[in-house]
Amino acid sequence: MTSKLGLEQEIIFTDKKGWVRNSRDVLDDPRLQTAEFFDEEGLLCQGEVKTNPFETVTETILDLYFKLRFVDFVSQEHGAYAVPMSEVGAGKGQHNLINPKVRDRITIYNQLFGKDNVISLLSNSGGHGHFSHLPHQAASQQVLLNSLE
């Protein structure tokens, strides 16, 4: 049994000039609403693209590439661009309170961390990976994950 890798890449929607674009119209597109690999995030200018779990980095990157291209294609039909990065604290992203899953998460975050901290948290998200756990290689996996930070 080998470990598997899955990636989650945050994207930000921008306009043609690269400015943050709050994109309810893109998020409401039925192709993204039904795509299992796409999730809305805490701000209306953000989304997340998820890969399937694979045993090789090459397979994972190819999966991510094609899914990012699809999201960008859909975005451009709405006059937006999907850029693989986070909102990076620009402060122009509006809270995504329409999606119940996101709204509930933001409500809980506000109670736990306070509104000012939640704004910072939501606007500074980024890509990350998930690795399957192999009990007989726990120490090696920990060393690998620490080296990737």
SS (H, E, C) the chain: CCCCEEEEEEEEEECCCCCECCCHHHHCCHHHHCCCCEEECCECCEEEEECCCECCHHHHHHHHHHHHHHHHHHHHHCCCEEECCCCCCCCCCCECCCCHHHHHHHHHHHHHHCHHHHHHHHCCCCCEEEECCCHHHHHHHHHHHHHHC
Q: What is the structure's pLDDT at 74? A: 97
Ranges of the chain with pLDDT below 50: none
Q: What is the structure's pLDDT at 121? A: 67
Q: What is the structure's pLDDT at 8? A: 87
Question: What's the pLDDT tens digit per position in 103-139?
Answer: 777 788 788 888 777 766 666 666 667 667 667 776 7
Q: What is the structure's pLDDT at 25? A: 95
Q: What is the structure's pLDDT at 145? A: 63
Q: What is the structure's pLDDT at 43? A: 82
